[in-house]
Structure 1
């Protein structure tokens, strides 16, 4: 799963009390430190874990305290799972050292082209601009994104919309059907 050191901008999401009632509003009230001995990390809500991980999360007292502590934070899914992945007591965890940070592009669950990272690969960006459209800085893939997308190792791609580019969806459906039938050569034609 994605798990990286928390940047200063996102630390405020868990350092301050938030009122959560239909909307999320940050207050000026600082929270107590997290009730764990490990540092906090950031990631996202999409991940793949083992049954042992889930069992531990459901039963461990330290994890239960963290879950309760997270109730009044902003977007707890963006730090909770990534933090658990770095806690030594959690099955399948990895060390908290920065050498083990895993970005969204390295994780397996979901691939996203973020607008604020896009540019030109030849100029050092992690990927080229979206050929579909951006919604809240997330690429809604277009047909021109498929060649890049098919080179990724992720289980899911976020996001598609037939109103943005129905051809992208139809092409991807065809590719997946050909792969299912054992015809891998179709990906070489994009």
Structure 2
């Protein structure tokens, strides 16, 4: 008969086996979890892009979705995105405000990084520096994120802050310029323009930056691009360089000959004949064209005529660049010899400087501002397939997941360029070389 001691020994052994089967796996899981969440690889330390952002449903301030762009954005951008998922994202906002102080050295260093590293620049980019000008007046953090996306140490940058902007905003922009480097210039307040919608102030602000680029910037830039603070790039800097090289010395300027714009033509007579052309204020102009716009007698007379009626607020600013670019008689450098109104059915006519959805085209977000659709969650999949340089426009508190995911998508392209030493395989430079003006220009 088995002794009492043997029975007790067997019972204790079975209990110990049970403990090992239950407790040890749990302990291992806890240990692994601890290591995953407490250990950060050296390359990722201080990473400025939050991989885990908390969102909350607008209808329920207590319910939060603890997830990140690495989870949400691939699904949003993919072909499998369903309407239920998109609808949920339209009703989410960031649980915590996103902000930083450019004056704080530590925060500045982290903010200027992308995926934990300072940006690397290819040799092709180094040999083709660009000049960027921005005209802004509010929403500092949104502009700071845009600026981080386009900044490279070898380019030249000029920021015009509206004269009406408050002192805090202007100080923040100055701190941002200092944070990024000496190749960022902010137009002084005494030279700033007070801009009102539909007046000529946007061109006046462009002129301030153009003068700086031509007379003071030490960088030998090739093209000048201008923008606002409510946009976001669709191309990396390397892709942008390849696209601008592909247009073969032409300019990116929109043309529109629609009769409905005739009311914008100034009544002041000119000393020469011309065809007035309407187009976007946003352009990509070769350096010689920028100099032409400021110094050529034809351009100066056109500028004076448009200025004379700027108080009427008829969007005369949209007549300047297009008119000097599409009148071959002026012999503007890179001026186009074939004017085509942009047409979705004709890719060669695409105005690649900017993607905008205009009224009466339905807005996927169901929100517009001055006939311009505000980009939202449902727009992101199509934007990742567009060829335009920038997209306009975003509002900071409207469907913020959309902006976050477009930034995530662009930064992944930038990271892949660094890791693989090439632009994305989806990038097609021939699209730009096939544009009408690329092969038909002065």
Note whether the superposition's TM-score is higher than 0.5: yes
User: Deviation string for 1:20-66 (max 9, x for gaps)?
Assistant: xxxxxxxxxxx244444221111010000011001112221121111
Structure 1 contact 131–143 (Cα < 8 Å) conserved: yes
Return the offset for 1:160. 0.9
Distance 1:94 1:12, change over 3 A: same
User: Deviation string for 1:66-104 (max 9, x for gaps)?
Assistant: 111111143222111111111221111112xxx531428
SS at match of 2:368: strand
Equivalent in the alignment of 1:83: 323
Distance 1:178 1:147, change over 3 A: same
Structure 2 contact 356–373 (Cα < 8 Å) conserved: yes
| 1:52 equivalenced with 2:281 (yes/no) | no
SS at match of 2:317: helix
SS at match of 1:79: helix
| 1:136 equivalenced with 2:136 (yes/no) | no
Equivalent in the alignment of 1:42: 278
The 4+ residue runs of structure 1 with deviation greater than 3 A are 32-36
Counterpart among 99, 105, 110 of residue 354 in structure 2: 110
Q: Which consecutive residues of structure 1, in runs of 5 or more, have no partner in the other structure?
A: 16-30, 120-128, 186-190
Structure 1 contact 87–93 (Cα < 8 Å) conserved: yes
| 1:4 equivalenced with 2:256 (yes/no) | yes
TM-score (norm 1): 0.74
Structure 1 contact 2–104 (Cα < 8 Å) conserved: no
Structure 2 contact 265–276 (Cα < 8 Å) conserved: no
SS at match of 2:397: helix
Return the offset for 1:4. 2.1
SS at match of 2:373: strand
Equivalent in the alignment of 1:92: 334
Alpha-carbon distance between aligned partners in 2 of 1:45 and 1:165, rounded to the nearest angstrom? 27
Alpha-carbon distance between aligned partners in 2 of 1:87 and 1:147, rounded to the nearest angstrom? 38
Root-mean-square deviation over aligned CA pairs: 2.3
Counterpart among 163, 168, 176 of residue 402 in structure 2: 168
Distance 1:35 1:111, change over 3 A: farther
Alpha-carbon distance between aligned partners in 1 of 2:315 and 2:343, rounded to the nearest angstrom? 17
Equivalent in the alignment of 1:151: 385
| 1:14 equivalenced with 2:265 (yes/no) | yes
TM-score (norm 2): 0.33
Distance 1:10 1:34, change over 3 A: farther
Return the offset for 1:152. 1.3
Alpha-carbon distance between aligned partners in 2 of 1:142 and 1:62, rounded to the nearest angstrom? 42
Equivalent in the alignment of 2:50: none
Return the offset for 1:155. 1.4
- Farther-moved stretch of structure 1 (70-79 vs 101-110): 101-110
Q: Which structure's CA Rg is the greater one?
A: 2
Distance 1:107 1:165, change over 3 A: same
Higher share of residues assigned helix: 2
The count of aligned residue pairs is 157
